[in-house]
Amino acid sequence: MTDLPVRFDVRAPLPSLGELGHVHLIAVGGAGMSGVAALLLDRGLVVSGSDARASAVLESLRARGADVAVGHDPRHLDGVDTVVVSSAIRDDNVELAAARARGLRVLHRSQALAVLMAGSRRVAVAGASGKTTTTSMLAVALAAAGADPAFAGGGEIPQLGASARWGEGGVFVVEADESDGSFLVYRPEIAVVTNVQPDHLDFYGTVERVQEAYAAFVASVADGGLLVACHDDAGSRGLAAQATSLGRRVLTYGFDAGADLRVTSSEAVGLGSRSTMRVGGADLELVLAVPGRHNVLDAAAAYLAATAGVGLSPAAALAGLATFAGARRRFEVMGERGGVTVVDDYAHNPAKVAAVVATARSVLSRAGGGRLHVVFQPHLYSRTRDFAAEFAAALAEADTVALLDVYGAREDPMPGVSSELIGGPLRERHGSSGVTVGEPHDVVVARVAAAAAPGDLVVTVGAGDVTTLAPRILAALEAR
């Protein structure tokens, strides 16, 4: 695929780590950018950065020796050799514009990660859903086995204490973000594709171009490399056939009978699960401390990448996966007050939201009942426009749904696009009494706390500032 509408040439030659010099990161407080900054500090580079607002992340980087500032100013570039940005940074950002005017080297976040990965065995995990959890599971399994991996994920791994960290084990695990085409930069030796689903149409334009990008990602796998693909997902299964035709090693996983690793049974146990996987004629027990069918699939992918890819023993991989306690904001239990449990999740596309709702329903069913209250914040106007009906279908099994206003992130408002695009079809399925749209955050907090009863589950869902509501709901429940 040669015509991706990117602002950065992700196939261009990259500098070596030693050539980066003093590195400055714009919007360094973000989850992905702060991870790159941490890795650069781990490797001994001079690091500076700026962000629009103060945060605990900035303080943590400052404590580690980074020169970080609040606010953007071209003067922050004095003495800088390389500037790192993400696709969220607009071309008119004063620091980015100044960097280009001065002729400084400007790298996309993914390119900086690719530079850091040089010399390591490269493992890249891609997919519309599940890539953060699969990346985290693999990093935890390798760390538990003493393999000391380097890793860079899309969210903090609480038991490893970071979203990114350098390791001396010679393996680098990266979450490969498809949203802007930048996952083509990694050229992995081991690749995982959890699924291929229509998303990020603001960037790609059409579903066909999304599929082309994944095909290019698979084609970028190193000669003799391994592709681990989900057999249950039609898009991923098609990529497996493509990789085979290119001469790559391919292993598939799933509940389907045709998978190389087949999950033959799975049952919920508390907030986790116990499953049987059949691999090469042998039955293996997979025990997880996190709930949901989707987590079983993610663990199966991590198992194959760890064993067939990296070379970990099956016993070590299973033992490491059993210790996985979850990734930040992936069905993360925030607390319980008055018999009401509050969970926070980052889900922001229809498939992810559907998985969260299904998992919540399963948890409630095992607990003997209770109602499910979902607070959902749509992320991006374009995604809301393109998938409103699918979001409504994903949310339909909740007992009550509070739809917040769209979190625009990098996008400006679009005429006629609001959360009501989801609210309308959701009311048709659900009835008007259980659906609210666009209420202020404090009203939503009070409404949810008043409606929730002992045994109920409240889930805040979305990639924006909806995450700030979970502790407020807990406080309102306690005050009640």
Residues involved in catalysis: 131-132, 175
Q: What gap in Å lies between CA 383 and CA 346, rounded to an integer?
A: 15
Q: What gap in Å lies between CA 155 and CA 444, rounded to an integer?
A: 26
Residue 399: strand, helix, or coil: coil
**The tokens 């038991």 sit on which residue?**
159
Least Cα distance to 136 among 147, 118, 149, 146 occurs for: 149
Q: What gap in Å lies between CA 349 and CA 374, rounded to an integer?
A: 15
What backbone phi and psi angles, to 5 degrees, belong to 32? Answer: -70, -45
Token duo for residue 443: 């009203």
Token duo for residue 52: 């629009």
Q: What's 52's DSSP letter?
A: S
Q: What gap in Å lies between CA 334 and CA 468, rounded to an integer?
A: 11
Q: What gap in Å lies between CA 388 and CA 376, rounded to an integer?
A: 12
Angle, CA 221 vertex, CA 215 and CA 225 arms, to 5°: 130
Question: 28 Cβ partners below 8 Å, 6+ apart?
Answer: 34, 37, 49, 50, 51, 57, 58, 61, 66, 68
DSSP string, 59-106: HHHHHTT-EEEES--GGGGTT-SEEEE-TTS-TT-HHHHHHHHHT-EE
Q: What gap in Å lies between CA 467 and CA 345, rounded to an integer?
A: 8
Residue 330: strand, helix, or coil: coil
